[in-house]
A and B are shown apart, each in its own frame.
Chain A
Amino acid sequence: MSESEYIALCQKGDMDAFNQLVLMYENKILNYCYRILGDRTDAEDATQEVFVKLYRFIGSFTGQSAFSTWLYKIASNVCLDLLRKNKRHKTETVSLHQQNTEGEEFMMYVEDGSPTPYEVAQKNEAQRALLDALEKLGEDQKKVIILRDIEGLSYEEIADITGTAPGTVKSRINRARKALKKLLEKDRELFLLS
């Protein structure tokens, strides 16, 4: 059965079909949330919420955009909400709205002494440096790096998910990688060794 057939069944309240949709996307969504939030527990909470939202919203999915675009958008919103809430509750975390070199606004999280959530996931110095640099990219650039390089999605899939033209995806990935390279210049040796 195709994805759109499952969706149609879900819209009629078919729980088995919904179960199939969850199976198709749960790993992708969990990892996507994990890369945005940087914390496994938060990512798990967010993933739970994304699928509850999906269930409640699926009746309003019209098929105007690709289903994946729509689902990732829900995930993106859930994660951003969570980041805002965490930002308000964690006093040691200062969030700054800043402009990066391309004039895009991005949020920078400055943690004070406390261990970064990434430490669990870090296998080596290069990965740590990469994750730190990723945090400094604008949201759009960060998103394409996550989707392309970490999640390994194709340019076409990324165009679907982000709702942008394939040409835009090409240039965005190119610019994002260049920005990443610039940020990692100081850690160059780490990457030449690994």
Chain B
Amino acid sequence: MKDTCENVHEMLSLYIDDMLTEAETKQVEKHLQTCQACRAEYVFLKSIVSTAQSMPKLTVDTAFHEKIMENVAQAAKESQKPKPARKNVWKLASGFAAAAAVVALSVISLNSLPGHPELTPKGQTEPIQSEAPQEATASETKDSSDTPKKGGKPAGTVQTPAAPTGSEPVLADEQVSPYVRAIPETQTDYPVVSYCFTEEGYQAAISILSGFDKDGEVYLVPDEQKDEIRAKLEAVSGYLEHEEMQLEDTGFLKIVLSKE
């Protein structure tokens, strides 16, 4: 009887939705007639489902609908305006990258100063530092050759938490992922999405994007992979927000990373 009860439990949800075969339906009904325990489970589950079904629903009224259409009309108008600043999106994106680099550098220099241990975020640095060499953030360390390399003072290595903890491998910058595709030289006007992360999230983001063609902090991701990559970036626990800057489908998406 125990076996049957478990089988029936597995089928109750589909039974409620009338999604079982005829034979299965009969089997469940026959069992429910004789087994009080399963009947109680069925009544409970059915009641949960009914409660969900009777949940109050919101309805859109005319004013709300009109507001949607107004907002859309506004967006349409904006997209028709002449866009001189958008002529070269790469430049725009590079601006972001530069801003991000400034942030990165200022973090480095602040933390490189001796005698400022209070600037060290507590908790996440020690374990990372001991096992994480610097190559993961080569682009940052390049510009700060005076930064102590491995085994530096704890306060001096905060800017390179480097390899994300756990199992994700970090590709070095030179390593080319199989995804990378030749970039058509004529096409420079790609859509841009700018992502903002916390310090740790930023490192994880770099490792997600490693292998893609990059210029500074701007990565070029083929359309076939952009959804997957964007989903990954947005799943990073240090992900804060993103901004989309242009939306046409052009074969590639530029992704700009920055820190909070």
Contact = CB atoms under 8 A, between A and B. Distances in A.
A130 B54 CA distance: 11
B166 to A, nearest CB: 13
Given A59-B248, A177-B48, A52 B65 contact: no
A188 interface: yes
10 contacts: A15-B72, A27-B58, A30-B59, A48-B68, A52-B71, A81-B242, A130-B48, A131-B55, A149-B53, A191-B47
B13 A191 contact: no
Given A27-B57, A97-B237, A127-B55, 20 more contacts: A18-B72, A19-B69, A26-B65, A31-B57, A47-B68, A48-B68, A59-B248, A60-B248, A77-B234, A84-B240, A85-B241, A121-B56, A123-B56, A126-B47, A130-B48, A130-B55, A150-B53, A170-B14, A178-B9, A181-B41
A60 B249 CA distance: 6
A144 to B, nearest CB: 11
A80 B234 contact: yes
B51 A194 contact: yes
A84 B79 contact: no
B35 interface: no
B65 A22 contact: yes
A12 to B, nearest CB: 13
A155 B10 CA distance: 17
A125 B43 CA distance: 18
Contacts of A56: 75, 79, 247
Interface in A114-148: 121, 123, 126-127, 130-131, 145, 148
Interface of B: 9-10, 13-14, 17, 19, 41, 43-45, 47-60, 64-65, 67-69, 71-73, 75-76, 79, 234, 237, 239-242, 247-249
Contacts, number: 121
B123 to A, nearest CB: 15
Interface residues of A, number: 55
A56 B243 CA distance: 14
A184 B55 contact: no
Contacts of A191: 44, 47-48, 51
B49 A51 contact: no
Contact of B60 (A27, A85, A131, A145): A27
A80 B73 CA distance: 25
A145 B10 CA distance: 17
Contacts of B13: 173-174, 177-178
Contacts of B247: 56-57, 59-60
Contacts of A60: 247-249
A126 B51 CA distance: 7
A118 B13 CA distance: 26
Contacts of B14: 170, 174
B239 A34 contact: no
For the complex of A and B, the 6 pairs showing the least CB-CB separation, nearest first, are A149-B52, A191-B47, A60-B249, A174-B13, A26-B60, A55-B72
Nearest to A18: B72
A59 B51 contact: no
A37 B248 CA distance: 29
Contacts of A149: 49, 52-53
B55 to A, nearest CB: 5
B10 A174 contact: yes
